Copies of this chain bind each other. A is one copy, B any other.
Amino acid sequence: MIRLIFFPHIYAEAEIDISVYSLEDTALVTALPRANVTIQPIGRRVSVLIGETLYSAARSAGVASEAFCGGRGLCGKCRVIVVEGRELLSGLTELETKFLTEAEIHDGYRLACQMIVKAAGNLLVEIPRESQVRRQRLSVLGIERKVPLGPSISKHVVELPVPTLQDVTADFERLQAALKSKYHLEDISANYETLKKLPGVLRDKNWTVTAALKDRKVIIDVDPGDTTGKCYGFAVDIGTTKLAGYLVDLNNGSVVAATSMMNPQIPYGEDVISRISYTMREPEKLIDLQAAVVGGVNRLVSDALRAIGIDREDIYDMVVVGNTGMHHIFFGIKPEFVSLSPYPPAVQSPLDVRTKEVGLEVNSGAYVYSYPIIAGFVGADAVADILATGIFETAEMSLLVDIGTNTEIVLGNRDSMICCSAASGPAFEGAHIRHGMRASTGAIERVWIDPKTLEPSYRVIDEAKPEGICGSGIVDAVAELFRVGILDKTGKIDQELDIPRLKREGKVLSYVLAKPDEAGAGKEIVVSQHDINEIQLAKAAIYSGTSILMKRVGVETNEIARVFLAGAFGTYVDPESTRTIGMLPDAPTDRFEFVGNTAGSGARMALMSKEIRKTAYNVVRKMRYLELAAERDFQEEFMKALYFPHKELERFPNICKLLTVKQR
């Protein structure tokens, strides 16, 4: 949490809830020789070395805790119930007494990262029901601008004249000449592997050969005969949480398969900063993390290939996009300085690296391209967003907000662009929220509160019984609590209100969204004062970043013609609610557009068009980046933005109309 420099005290105080994922579907399942632990209800058996923590054993076994902190005892998320064998484990730590209630401790609740196995024997642990495996909604769609097909890779078939004593031109130069005469390709070179195999390939199908060229300049592979029909590319969006892959036919630009999976790095830490911290422990840790994500991408590739029935060798080009931390780790570039002020990336330029050097299992001549990076917290994914939404080429002013733990904000048009990153934290992904969860089955995704009765109604993903609240649900809930007057403008729950839905735990009030009998886990689901404060911090970070960009370029809210919300979260959130809580500028609802996973769209565009890679370079060159931490008015803007919707109400004229006198 190194980057969350403005409110560490609040993070430390936040109540934290449990959730544990099974990553059985990731590529990270390795078995190591240890003693015996059975994990229920998934029935996984792992052996744990004496002296090892249960957390690290579970991680090795691919039964991954949703550890925000990477097993450092900071988040309290890795709860398990020890059913049998308590005597084999080290005693309760101070941290555990902090994160667990007395009743929970009595029931056998422990934190996996705190328990060291002290003796051999059989252990039975259970993952609490409310934390069991859920398949998250993995949004793999995003809007995408049409680009003329012009991939970096092209295939060309030629038939060569057979050498004779009168014509002893060498094999490679013979191929060069044929490519020149048939396709007007000049000064063609070849990679080393091609030269090595060329003599055999030429003679295999009677001097008919297909060459795969990069940028119409370098032969990256040759096949005997005519294989021009098989020419594919693979684009990957490396999200902190999920990986999404797209197999594209480079002959026509069509997406022939899309696959996705959880990011196999999750066991090493939930967010980018945790993972970067993990790499800082010792040099091999970076290699571990890189291997995890590269293994995941290889898995996506093989899934896609299986679906379509083509071969790895037929993939000649790859594009990956990700935030700066994910980008650096994917490429094995030391990411630690990205997490330390002043957060410089190691490299901003676009990368185009041999896939075999990264460990990607596609054609050995292929390259993997990444868009350039804007800054330590505005990565290649943001560039992909910009390209997919096309905000860099319109006359009208657009605001692009890609919400995540770090929210990238871009404001501009074809004339100029400015951007920043706001440390919005993981609340919108359900983390640091008492009953927060990801947007998966059982998550409350929409909330309404009746202004008269103050009773809630909600909608649950997959119409299941509610088990928690996801990002869009919590934004709705806070917006509604404020709209109906349960919250005041400072975000405090009205202490004098006496309604059955309000529940007091010590000094802290909560609003009960679902009673125990309604909820799937049989436990009530509440929105606590702490949750509201989390949302307050998050929305203040986003709004203050946005408002500073607007100030710097002198743009008023009514001048913003379009607001693009990107990221998986953005697909489901109600724009009305975002404006009500003051997260985004008070523009008319019809100017908001949910664009989904534009990072993936942007990646596909780079696969289909070499030209768009040049555009990306120019976009980044023209981009002005603001490091919010270095802006003198940021602290003040942030403090004002903590209010609902804002301390300066004139900034939210539309929302203001809805408020009572007391609320203002």
Chain A residues with a Cβ under 8 A of chain B: 163-174, 189, 192, 195-200, 203, 331-334, 336-337, 341-349, 351, 353-354, 357, 373, 375-376, 625, 627, 629-630
Contacts and interface: CB of A to CB of B under 8 A. Distances in A.
Given A168-B625, A170-B373, 16 more contacts: A168-B343, A170-B346, A171-B346, A172-B346, A172-B347, A173-B347, A192-B351, A192-B353, A192-B354, A192-B357, A195-B333, A195-B347, A196-B331, A198-B333, A199-B333, A200-B334
Contacts of A198: 333, 346-347
Contacts of A334: 196-197, 199-200
A343 B170 CA distance: 9
A199 B357 contact: no
A195 B344 contact: no
A505 to B, nearest CB: 41
Contact of A163 (B169, B192, B344): B344
Nearest to A172: B347
B164 A199 contact: no
Contacts of A375: 168
A628 to B, nearest CB: 9
A297 to B, nearest CB: 17
Contacts of A174: 344
Nearest to A162: B342
21 contacts: A163-B342, A164-B342, A165-B341, A167-B342, A168-B343, A168-B344, A168-B375, A168-B625, A170-B347, A171-B344, A189-B349, A192-B331, A192-B357, A195-B347, A196-B333, A196-B334, A197-B334, A198-B347, A199-B337, A199-B346, A200-B334
B347 A630 contact: no
A171 B347 contact: yes
B630 A345 contact: no
A353 to B, nearest CB: 5
Contacts of A351: 192, 195
A172 B336 contact: no
A354 to B, nearest CB: 8
A349 B173 contact: yes
A375 B166 CA distance: 12
Determine which residue in A174, A195, A627 has the highest number of CB atoms from chain B within 10 A of its CB, and name it.
A195
Nearest to A337: B199
Contacts of A344: 163, 168-171, 174
A351 B191 CA distance: 10
A349 B172 contact: yes
B630 A173 contact: no
Contact of A348 (B165, B172, B192, B625): B172
B171 A345 contact: yes
Contacts of A331: 192, 195-196
Contacts of A625: 168
Contact of A630 (B165, B195, B203, B373): B165
A-B interface, 9 closest residue pairs, ranked by CB to CB distance from nearest: A165-B630, A172-B347, A170-B348, A170-B345, A199-B334, A165-B342, A163-B344, A199-B346, A171-B346
A353 B196 CA distance: 12
A195 B376 contact: no
Given A173-B348, A192-B353, A168 B627 contact: yes
A345 B347 CA distance: 41
A333 B197 CA distance: 7
A244 to B, nearest CB: 25
A172 B337 CA distance: 13
Nearest to A164: B342
A348 B198 CA distance: 13
Contacts of A171: 337, 344-347
A627 B337 CA distance: 62
A227 to B, nearest CB: 20
Nearest to A203: B337
Contacts of A627: 165-166, 168
A172 to B, nearest CB: 4
A629 B195 CA distance: 27
Contacts of A343: 168
A341 B162 CA distance: 12
A164 B629 CA distance: 11
Contacts of A166: 627, 630
A198 B164 CA distance: 51
A622 B334 CA distance: 49
A561 B261 CA distance: 76
A458 B174 CA distance: 52
A252 B333 CA distance: 35
A594 to B, nearest CB: 31
A189 B617 CA distance: 14
A349 B168 CA distance: 14
A313 B10 CA distance: 50
A599 to B, nearest CB: 20
Contacts of A349: 172-173, 189
Nearest to A198: B346
B346 A195 contact: yes
A564 to B, nearest CB: 25
Nearest to A171: B346
A72 to B, nearest CB: 23
Contacts of A163: 342, 344
A199 B346 CA distance: 6
Contacts of A346: 170-172, 195, 198-199
Contact of A336 (B192, B195, B199, B376): B199
A4 to B, nearest CB: 16
A196 B337 contact: no
Nearest to A290: B196
Determine which residue in A163, A203, A354 has the highest number of CB atoms from chain B within 10 A of its CB, and name it.
A163
A570 B332 CA distance: 54
Nearest to A358: B192
A369 to B, nearest CB: 13
A168 B342 CA distance: 6
A344 B172 CA distance: 10
Contacts of A347: 170-173, 195, 198
Contacts of A200: 334
